[in-house]
């Protein structure tokens, strides 16, 4: 109850803040021309003009999309995921021999400190970089993309501390109160899009390592979490399949509506984060995405994962997610928000876990960002065992719900070699259920200070 009151109050405050910002923006821009729908390239020739324009500007720093189809062809984030059309993405861009080459990424150098009996401290870095190349052949677009992370080296002992977080393993034991590093190869993918007509797009995605059509854009890639260095508690109920093996996805888009289907290998990446795992396609997912207007993106998806967890190999999982994103460009910033529900159901014993997330990041006065993440997530009884061998016959069950309230702020401090740096901090407070109070204390707190780098 308290969780939902906080969510509603937050939405109300943000709405008022943005209206105030926009009023200021309008009074500053009166007389200037602001891009609008009327300037949207809608025909093939206009699109080609726009591409030619991009060729002339050898280096651009951000890309916008004017329609869902244009957004999808750009393939700016992991897998075939979509944000709202108006979401701008900072990147380095150049053209060579008819190919458009792009590079974007994110790196945090963070120090986390947590209180309570289970609290731990650590210095670590979460990071990824995404080089990609894209070329248009008439109505077709070919994209090749890779995403790399140095987290196997920058997160020691195969985990960084995060209270109440669970999922995957380190040294054969379940990770409890911690988050695993991502793989060196987070994605290796080829994408092909074909415009059947002005309003219809057919898309194919093939990736030895990639992101199937399940869940919203994964947290490291979405604008609403762009300044937050740590994973959501609901990661393994929402978007954890963003690094999967042997993914094939087909999609069809008509105007603002897209339907996709994926086949992939369901087992989570192995503990060795330097290698590329392979396995047969034994899991599936399907997703509906709708981008009504420039600022909204809705998705709902369902998938069945065959034997995702190495510690529970006989257990298959059904995951259902639904999410709504809202993005609003401001004159000197941007406001990106997400509300998300993710649910896991064991197909072995029917046990169900739910997770809810509200996330919002406001960039204002160019150099400042403030953000929040509010979560309400079911946790399993693995939390009670901690990072110890599972007792014989242990049955993992969702048994308690934890709330996490995060607020953070950072500020750009300068740039070197097309990398912009920011310093920031965030704090997380928790709502601890009675059954976990003796293990965690009633009021644990987590504070993270960080330096952030991003190409721009
Ligand atoms: Cu992840």
Residues 200-230 have pLDDT tens digits of 999 999 999 999 999 999 999 999 999 999 9
C-alpha of residue 232 to centroid of ligand 1, in Å: 9
Rounded-to-10 torsion of CA 299, 60, 106, 337: -30
Percent of the chain with pLDDT over 70: 86
Tell me the CA–centroid distance for residue 218 and ligand 1, in Å.
7
Cα–Cα distance measured from residue 410 to residue 350, given in angstroms and rounded to the nearest whole number: 43
Of 271, 234, 267, 308, nearest in space to 155 by CA: 271
Predicted confidence at residue 28, as pLDDT, reads 37
The whole-chain average pLDDT of the chain stands at 88
Cα(268) to centroid(ligand 1), Å: 10
* Spacing, Cα 272 to ligand 1 middle (Å): 15
Alpha helices in 164-308 (DSSP H): 235-238
Banded pLDDT at 270 (limits 50, 70, 90): confident
Decide if pLDDT at 47 tops 50: no
Query: If you measure from the C-alpha of residue 17 to the centroid of ligand 1, how many angstroms do you get, rounded to a whole number?
Result: 32
* pLDDT per position as a tens digit, 232-246: 999 999 999 999 999
Rounded to the nearest angstrom, the distance between the alpha carbon of 95 and the centre of ligand 1 is: 31
According to the per-residue pLDDT averaged within each range, which of 24-38, 59-73, 194-208 is highest?
194-208
Phi/psi at 407 (5° precision): -135, 140
**pLDDT at residue 416, rounded to an integer:** 87
26 pLDDT more than 50: no
* Distance in Å, CA 360 to ligand 1 centroid: 19
Query: Is 60 exceeded by the pLDDT of residue 177?
Result: yes
Confidence of residue 7 (pLDDT cuts 50, 70, 90): very low
Cα 19 to averaged position of ligand 1 atoms, centre (Å): 34
Using the mean position of ligand 1's atoms as its centre, give its distance from the Cα of residue 22 in Å: 35
Q: What distance in angstroms lies between residue 62's CA and the mean position of ligand 1's atoms?
A: 25
CA distance 430 to 400: 13
Distance from the CA of 23 to the center of ligand 1, in angstroms?
A: 38
- pLDDT tens digits along 185-202: 999 999 999 999 999 999
User: In the numeric block, which tokens belong to residue 45?
Assistant: 């020739």
pLDDT at 354 (0 to 100): 98
The pLDDT score that the predictor gives to residue 50 is 43
Residue 31 has pLDDT above 50, yes or no: no
Q: Encoding tokens for residue 123?
A: 């210095």
At residue 55 the predicted structure's pLDDT band, cuts being 50, 70 and 90, is very low
Compute, in angstroms, the gap from residue 288 CA to the centroid of ligand 1: 22
Measured in Å, residue 179 CA sits from the centre of ligand 1 at 9
Residue 3 CA, ligand 1 centroid: distance in Å = 25
d(CA 153, CA 57) in angstroms, rounded, equals: 37
How many whole angstroms from 235 Cα to the centroid of ligand 1? 7
Please tell me the pTM assigned to this model. Answer: 0.86
pLDDT at residue 401 in the model:
97
- CA–CA separation, 296 and 309 (whole Å): 34
Distance 219 CA to ligand 1 centre (A): 7
- Output the CA 364–ligand 1 centroid distance in Å: 28
Helix, strand or coil, per DSSP, at residue 18: helix
The tokens of 218 are what? 């994964």
CATH superfamily of 2-26+58-455: Porin (2.40.160.10)
* Ligand 1 geometric centre to CA of 455 (Å): 21
Q: What 8-state DSSP symbol labels residue 391?
A: P
Q: How far is the CA of 406 from the centre of ligand 1 (A)?
A: 19
- Rounded CA-CA distance 434/417 in Å is 51
Ordered by start, the domain boundaries in the chain are 2-26+58-455
Q: Is 208 left (phi over 0), alpha (psi -120 to 50) or beta?
A: alpha
């Amino acid at each position: 109850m308290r969780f939902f009151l906080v969510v509603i109050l937050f939405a109300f405050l943000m709405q008022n803040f943005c209206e105030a910002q926009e009023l200021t923006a309008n009074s500053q821009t009166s007389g200037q021309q602001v891009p609008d729908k009327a300037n949207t390239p809608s025909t093939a020739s206009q699109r080609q003009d726009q591409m030619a324009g991009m060729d002339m500007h050898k280096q651009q720093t951000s890309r916008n999309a004017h329609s869902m189809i244009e957004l999808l062809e750009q393939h700016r984030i992991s897998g075939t995921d979509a944000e709202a059309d108006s979401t701008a993405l900072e990147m380095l861009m150049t053209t060579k021999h008819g190919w458009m080459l792009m590079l974007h990424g994110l790196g945090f150098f963070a120090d986390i400190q947590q209180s309570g009996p289970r609290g731990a401290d650590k210095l670590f870095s979460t990071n990824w970089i995404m080089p990609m190349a894209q070329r248009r052949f008439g109505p077709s677009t070919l994209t090749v993309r890779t995403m790399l992370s140095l987290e196997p080296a920058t997160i020691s002992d195969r985990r960084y501390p995060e209270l109440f977080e669970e999922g995957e393993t380190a040294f054969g034991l379940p990770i409890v109160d911690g988050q695993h590093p991502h793989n060196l190869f987070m994605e290796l993918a080829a994408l092909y899009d074909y415009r059947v007509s002005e309003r219809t797009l057919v898309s194919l995605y093939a990736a030895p390592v990639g992101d199937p059509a399940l869940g919203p854009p994964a947290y490291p890639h979405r604008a609403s979490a762009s300044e937050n260095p740590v994973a959501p508690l609901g990661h393994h109920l929402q978007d954890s399949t963003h690094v999967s093996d042997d993914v094939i996805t087909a999609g069809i888009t008509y105007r603002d509506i897209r339907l996709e289907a994926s086949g992939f290998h369901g087992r989570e990446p192995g503990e060795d984060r330097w290698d590329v795992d392979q396995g047969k396609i034994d899991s599936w997912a399907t997703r509906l995405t709708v981008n009504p207007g420039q600022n909204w993106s809705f998705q709902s998806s369902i998938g069945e994962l065959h034997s995702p967890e190495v510690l529970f190999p006989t257990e298959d999982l059904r995951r259902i997610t639904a999410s709504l994103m809202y993005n609003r460009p401001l004159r000197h910033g941007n406001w990106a928000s997400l509300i998300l529900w993710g649910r896991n159901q064991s197909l072995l014993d029917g046990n169900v876990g739910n997770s809810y997330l509200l996330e919002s990041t406001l960039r204002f006065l160019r150099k400042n960002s403030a953000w929040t993440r509010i979560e309400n997530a079911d946790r399993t009884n693995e939390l009670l065992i901690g990072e110890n061998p599972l007792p014989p016959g242990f049955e993992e069950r969702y048994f308690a719900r934890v709330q996490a309230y995060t607020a953070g702020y950072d500020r750009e401090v300068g740039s070197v070699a097309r990398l912009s740096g920011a310093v920031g901090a965030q704090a997380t407070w928790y709502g601890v259920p009675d059954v976990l109070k003796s293990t965690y204390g009633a009021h644990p707190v987590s504070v993270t200070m960080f330096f952030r780098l991003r190409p721009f």
